[in-house]
Amino acid sequence: MKNKLLPVFITSIFIIIFIIFYKSLQDTNIYIPQKKINKEIPLFSADLFSSSKKINSTELFISDKFYLLNIWSSWCVPCRQEHPLLMNLAKNKKIEIIGINYKDNKVKAQSFLDELGNPYKNIIFDKEGVNAIEWGAYGVPESFLIHNGMIIDKYIGPLNKELIKKIKLIIE
Amino acid sequence: MKILKLLFIIFFIFSFNHLKADHMDVQNKITKNLRCLICQGQSVYDSDSEFANSLKVLVENKLNDGLSESQIYEYLKDKYGEWILYDPELNKNTYILWLLPVLIFLIGGAIISKSFIIKKK
- Cis before A141? omega within 30: yes
Write down the pLDDT at residue A83. Answer: 95
Looking at residues B83-95, what average pLDDT do you find? 79
Inspect the interface and report whether the beta carbons of B50 and A129 lie closer than 8 Å. Answer: yes
What residue spans of chain B are helical by DSSP H?
2-32, 50-64, 69-80, 95-120
Q: Tell me, what's the pLDDT at B95?
A: 79
Cα separation, B24 vs B15, whole angstroms: 14
- In the prediction, which pLDDT does B30 show? 93
d(CA A166, CA A160) in angstroms, rounded, equals 10
Residues in chain B with CB shorter than 8 Å from the CB of A134 are 58, 79
Tell whether pTM > 0.80.
no
The predicted structure's pLDDT at residue A30: 61
A46-100 pLDDT, tens digit per residue, is: 889 988 788 888 788 887 889 999 999 999 999 999 999 999 999 998 999 999 9
| Whole-angstrom Cα Rg for chain B | 23
Helical pair A106-116 and A77-89, crossing angle rounded to 10 deg: 50
Quote the mean pLDDT of chain A. 88
Q: Which of A11, A21, A34, A100 to substitute to test the interface with B, most B CBs within 10 Å? A: A34
ipTM: 0.75
CB contact under 8 A, B57 and A6: no
Query: What tens digit of pLDDT does each residue of B37-59 get?
Result: 888 889 999 999 999 999 999 99
A18 in contact with B at a CB cutoff of 8 Å? no
CA B28 to chain centre: 8
State whether residue A157 sits within 8 Å of chain B by CB: no
User: Domain A39-171 carries which CATH code?
Assistant: 3.40.30.10
Q: Where are the beta strands (DSSP E) in chain A?
A: 39-40, 45-48, 54-56, 66-72, 95-102, 122-126, 142-147, 150-156
pLDDT of residue A32: 62
Q: So where are chain B's domains?
A: 26-89, 90-121
One CATH from 3.30.70.260, 3.40.190.10, 3.40.640.10, 1.10.8.640 for B26-89: 1.10.8.640
- Average pLDDT (A151-155) is 91
Alpha-carbon distances of B94 from A119, B83, B88, B100, B112, rounded to whole Å? 45, 11, 7, 10, 28
